[in-house]
Amino acid sequence: MSWVEVAGIVRLSRVLRNWSLKRFPRRRTVRLTQNRIYILPSAAGVGFIFLLLMLLLLAINYESNLAYGLTFMLVSLFILSIIQTYANLAGLEVTALRGHTCYAGEPAGFTLELRAAKGRDHEQLVLSWDRGTPLTLDLTDQRVAQVELACPALRRGWLDPGPLKLETHFPLGLFRAWTWLDTGLRALVYPKPIACRVPDSGGGEGAMDARRTRALGFEDFNGFSRYENGVSLHQVAWKVYARGQGLHVKQYAGTASDEVWLDWDHWLALNEEERLSGICYWALEFTQREQPFGVRLPGVSLMPASGEAHRLRVLRALALFGQEASACDRSAVRR
């Protein structure tokens, strides 16, 4: 925790941050320069200043020129460490690559690429969003590093992690150099899957049971097929893989022709978010079993289908249900 926050100047720091972010247009790759690197003594640095004053007092009162010498040595180390700490950030190139989808309640990952300035080391860089665990890394042996920085996703919809903060105390901890970057990254957060009552099928009332048992029970195993990209990992026959026979997918019989509808109106007892969570749960279930299903939401209707693409379409619709309009304009702003 920096002393700025301890001192209760949170608001000032917020104002400074907004001002700093407004000064620069959003870009995918940002090279850190003196324009946007801020540097102030850290709490340890303030302690060090106090130490310097004590030493100076000692030197003056005992008229000890060697103590003066030591004091000035530390003063000049202190000043040098401004440059050192600044140089630890300066020249670094940060590229915002992408945000990864996740379910509400999980941390959403954002991939960032850091590229060291030519011929220089950057050590102990701390990356953080407003929330979530900060990540520390060294760029000493390799010039480029890709990191995934997590930000907790509390609600479904687009997650904007806010500005990225990059800070460092290296090498002596006397100064804190930092910068804020508007990465423009966002991650799509799906509703949290919550198991709920079995959904009705979209067809008539009478033929329920047979189909429902088929839909929910465990169908007959029908053999393996070769793994192809995009197939859910749940269907991979891991035991076969473990035997060293390559990636295969378990096939189940008799699911292709059945259609199930996940209907908004089916769960009248639940509120809006709970319904979305329920639909999400079943959508995942059906996809795993390769059971085609359709989704009916107010104003949205997705025809029954199966497979990865369908799943993504459904999850996206669930995630953005009711908030599409407000969030979609952001992608237009980018670039």
Q: Does 67 bind other proteins (CB under 8 A)?
A: yes
Interaction of residue 124 with other proteins, rule CB under 8 A: yes
42 and 173 in contact (C-beta within 8 Å)?
yes
Residue 141 found at the interface with other proteins (CB under 8 A): no
How many Å apart are CA 288 and CA 307, to the nearest integer? 9
Helix (H, G, I), strand (E, B) or coil at 265: helix
Residue 173 in the binding site for other proteins (CB under 8 A): yes
User: What CA–CA distance (Å, rounded) separates 193 from 274?
Assistant: 9
Residue of the chain from 13, 18, 69, 210 that contacts other proteins (CB under 8 A): 69
Among 70, 126, 231, 300, binds other proteins (CB under 8 A): 70
Q: Which residue, chain included where needed, has tokens 């609600």?
A: 155
Give the interface segment with other proteins, choosing from 72-80, 190-198, 199-207, 321-329 (CB under 8 A).
Answer: 72-80
Q: Can you list the positions of beta strands (E) in the chain? A: 29-31, 38-41, 93-99, 102-103, 107-115, 122-128, 135-139, 144-152, 157-159, 164-168, 175-181, 187-190, 221-226, 248-252, 260-263, 293-297, 300-305
Nearer to other proteins, 133 or 225 (CB): 133
Angle at CA of residue 115, ends 112 and 118, nearest 5°: 175
Contact 101, 153 (CB under 8 A): no
Q: Does 3 bind other proteins (CB under 8 A)?
A: no
Asked if 9 interacts with other proteins (CB under 8 A), we say no
Restricting to residues 240-269, name those near other proteins by CB under 8 A.
none
Q: Which stretch binds other proteins (CB under 8 A): 8-16, 62-70, 106-114, 296-304?
A: 62-70
Residue 25 near other proteins by CB under 8 A: no
Give the range of 8-16, 81-89, 184-192, 215-223 binding other proteins by CB under 8 A: 81-89
Q: What are phi and psi of 328, to 5 degrees?
A: -70, -20
**CB closer to other proteins out of 87 and 297:** 87
Choose among 226, 162, 142: nearest CA to 14. 162
From candidates 172, 208, 231, 247, binder to other proteins by CB under 8 A: 172
Cβ burial of 63 (10 Å; 0-12, 13-18, 19+) is exposed
Q: Does 55 bind other proteins (CB under 8 A)?
A: yes
Alpha-carbon span 3 to 17, nearest angstrom: 16
Site size for other proteins (CB under 8 A): 48
Shortest Å, Cβ 36 to other proteins: 16
76 contacts other proteins (rule: CB under 8 A): yes
Q: Taking the complex as a whole, how short is the minimal distance between the CB of residue 151 and other proteins, in angstroms?
A: 22
Nearer Cβ to other proteins (136/288): 136
Residue 149 is classified by DSSP as E
CA 223 to mean position of chain CA atoms: 38
Q: Is 145 in the site for other proteins (CB under 8 A)?
A: no
Q: In whole angstroms, what is the distance from residue 64 CA to residue 202 CA?
A: 92
Q: Which of 8, 25, 65, 242 binds other proteins (CB under 8 A)?
A: 65
Stretch that binds other proteins, among 63-71, 240-248, 254-262, 299-307 (CB under 8 A): 63-71
Binding site for other proteins (CB under 8 A): 44, 47-48, 51, 54-55, 57-77, 79-81, 83-84, 87, 90-91, 117-120, 123-124, 136, 138, 169-173
